[in-house]
Structure 1
Amino acid sequence: MKYDGRKYVIITFITLIGIIYAFKLFYMQVVDDSWKLRAQEIAEKRREITPPRAVILDRNGKKVVENKTYYNLMMCEDEIVDLDTAAFGKLIGWTREEIRERFKEIKTEQGKFRNRQTGKMESNYRSFRTYPFLKEMTADEMSTIVPHLEQFPGFREEVSSMRNYPYGNAANILGYLAEANAEEVGPRKFYKNGDYIGRAGVERYYEEEIRGKKGIKYVVLDAVNDKVASFENGKYDTTAKQADPIHLGLDIELQAYGETLMQNKKGAIVAIEPKTGEILTLVSAPTYDPNLLVGKKKIKENYPDLVNDENKPLFPRPLASAYMPGSTFKTIQSLIGMQEGVITENTGIPCNKSVVGCHNHPSAQNVTQAVQMSCNPYFYAVTRRIIHQKKSKNINEDAAIGLGKWAEYMHSFGLGKKLESDLTGISSGVIPDPKYYDKWYGHNNWRFSTIRSISIGQGEVQLTPLQLANVAAIMANRGWYITPHVVKSVGDSGPLERFRKKNYTMVDRKYFDPVVEGMRRCVHEPGGTARRARIPGITMCGKTGTVEDQRELKGGKLLKRPNHSVFICFAPMDDPKIAVAVFIENAGGGGGTWAAPTASLIVEKYLNGEICEQNKPKEQRILDAKLSLWE
Structure 2
Amino acid sequence: MRKVLLPTIIIIGTILLVLRLFYLQIIDDTFKLKSENNAIKIQYDYPERGYIYDRHGKLLVANQPSYDIMVIPREIKKDIDIDEFCHLLHITRKDYDRILEKAITFSPRLPSVFLPQLNKAEYAAFQEKIRKFPGFYIQKRSLRDYQVKFGANIFGFITQASEKTILKNPYYKSGDLLGKQGVEESYENILRGVKGVKYIQKDKFNREIGSYKNGMYDTIAVQGEDINLTIDATLQEYGEQLMINKRGGIVALEPKTGEILALVTAPSYDPAILVGRQRSRNYTALYNDSIAKPLYDRGLLAEYPPGSPFKILTALIGLQEGVIDEQSSFVCHHGFSYARGRFMRCHCHGGAQQLHRGIYESCNTYFASTYMKTINKYVRPADGVDVWSRHLRSFGLGEFMGYDLPTGRRGKAPTSKTYKRIYPNGGWRSTAIVSNAIGQGEVLMTPIQLANMMAAVANRGYYYTPHIIKKIEGQKIDKKFTTKHMTTVDRKYFEPVVAGLFDVYNLGTAHALRVEGIDICGKTGTAENYAKINGKRVKLQDHSIFVAFAPKDNPKIALAVFVENGYWGARWAGPIASLMIEKYLRGKISRVDLEKRMLEGSLQSEYDKYTGKKETDTLLLKPTAPKVIDSSEIEN
CA contact (8 A) 2:348 2:363 kept: no
Change (3 A) 1:304 1:107: farther
Q: Which one of 554, 573, 577 corresponds to residue 552 of structure 2?
A: 573
The alpha-carbon deviation at position 257 of structure 1 amounts to 1.0
Mapped pair 1:366 → 2:345: no
Q: Which one of 386, 390, 394 corresponds to residue 374 of structure 2?
A: 386
Change (3 A) 1:40 1:414: farther
Change (3 A) 1:187 1:409: closer
Gaps of 5+ in 1: 1-6, 29-34, 111-124, 393-397
* CA distance in 2 between partners of 1:262 and 1:369 (Å): 32
* CA distance in 1 between partners of 2:468 and 2:287 (Å): 24
Mapped pair 1:303 → 2:284: yes
Aligned partner of 2:64 in structure 1 is 68
Q: Amino acid of the residue matched to residue 575 of structure 1?
A: N
* CA distance in 2 between partners of 1:605 and 1:17 (Å): 74
Pick which of 178-187 and 515-524 moved more: 178-187
Aligned partner of 1:600 in structure 2 is 578
Q: Which one of 601, 604, 607 corresponds to residue 630 of structure 1?
A: 607
* CA distance in 1 between partners of 2:185 and 2:578 (Å): 32
* CA distance in 2 between partners of 1:492 and 1:451 (Å): 52
Aligned partner of 1:225 in structure 2 is 206
Map 1:404-419 onto structure 2 (within 5 A). Answer: 404-419=386-401
Change (3 A) 1:362 1:94: closer
Aligned partner of 1:474 in structure 2 is 456
Aligned partner of 1:100 in structure 2 is 97
- Return the TM-score normalized by structure 2: 0.86
Q: Amino acid of the residue matched to residue 99 of structure 2?
A: R
Pick which of 212-221 and 246-255 moved more: 212-221
Q: Which one of 421, 427, 430 corresponds to residue 445 of structure 1?
A: 427
* CA distance in 2 between partners of 1:533 and 1:150 (Å): 69
Q: Which one of 104, 111, 124 corresponds to residue 143 of structure 1?
A: 124
> Residue 422 of structure 1: SS of its match in structure 2?
coil
The alpha-carbon deviation at position 173 of structure 1 amounts to 1.6
> Residue 159 of structure 2: SS of its match in structure 1?
strand
Mapped pair 1:518 → 2:500: yes
Q: Which one of 532, 538, 548 corresponds to residue 518 of structure 2?
A: 538
The alpha-carbon deviation at position 238 of structure 1 amounts to 1.7
Pick which of 508-517 and 79-88 moved more: 79-88
Gaps of 5+ in 2: 25-30, 338-343, 609-636
CA contact (8 A) 1:264 1:630 kept: no
Aligned partner of 1:242 in structure 2 is 223
- Return the TM-score normalized by structure 1: 0.87
Map 1:334-353 onto structure 2 (within 5 A). Answer: 334-352=315-333, 353=335
Aligned partner of 1:619 in structure 2 is 595
The alpha-carbon deviation at position 160 of structure 1 amounts to 1.1
- Listed one character per residue, the Cα deviations across residues 522-571 of structure 1 (whole Å, up to 9, x for unaligned) are 012x3x11123311211100011111223466786x53322211110001
* CA distance in 1 between partners of 2:538 and 2:13 (Å): 83
* CA distance in 1 between partners of 2:95 and 2:282 (Å): 19
Aligned partner of 1:85 in structure 2 is 81
Pick which of 531-540 and 331-340 moved more: 531-540
The alpha-carbon deviation at position 218 of structure 1 amounts to 2.3
Q: Amino acid of the residue matched to residue 437 of structure 2?
A: S
The alpha-carbon deviation at position 345 of structure 1 amounts to 1.9
Q: Which one of 364, 368, 374 corresponds to residue 376 of structure 1?
A: 364
Change (3 A) 1:89 1:243: closer
CA contact (8 A) 1:186 1:192 kept: no
Pick which of 509-518 and 283-292 moved more: 283-292
Aligned partner of 2:414 in structure 1 is 432
- Listed one character per residue, the Cα deviations across residues 459-513 of structure 1 (whole Å, up to 9, x for unaligned) are 1111111111111111111111111111112224342111110111000011100
Q: Which one of 187, 193, 212 corresponds to residue 206 of structure 1?
A: 187
Change (3 A) 1:98 1:328: closer
Count of aligned positions: 587
* CA distance in 2 between partners of 1:501 and 1:305 (Å): 38
* CA distance in 2 between partners of 1:101 and 1:585 (Å): 45
Q: Amino acid of the residue matched to residue 452 of structure 2?
A: N
CA contact (8 A) 2:73 2:103 kept: no
> Residue 144 of structure 1: SS of its match in structure 2?
helix
The alpha-carbon deviation at position 241 of structure 1 amounts to 0.7
Aligned partner of 2:267 in structure 1 is 286
Aligned partner of 1:506 in structure 2 is 488
The alpha-carbon deviation at position 16 of structure 1 amounts to 14
CA contact (8 A) 1:364 1:378 kept: no
Aligned partner of 1:31 in structure 2 is none
- Listed one character per residue, the Cα deviations across residues 557-587 of structure 1 (whole Å, up to 9, x for unaligned) are x533222111100011111111010011111
Mapped pair 1:262 → 2:239: no
Aligned partner of 1:529 in structure 2 is 509
* CA distance in 2 between partners of 1:483 and 1:38 (Å): 47
* CA distance in 1 between partners of 2:308 and 2:167 (Å): 54
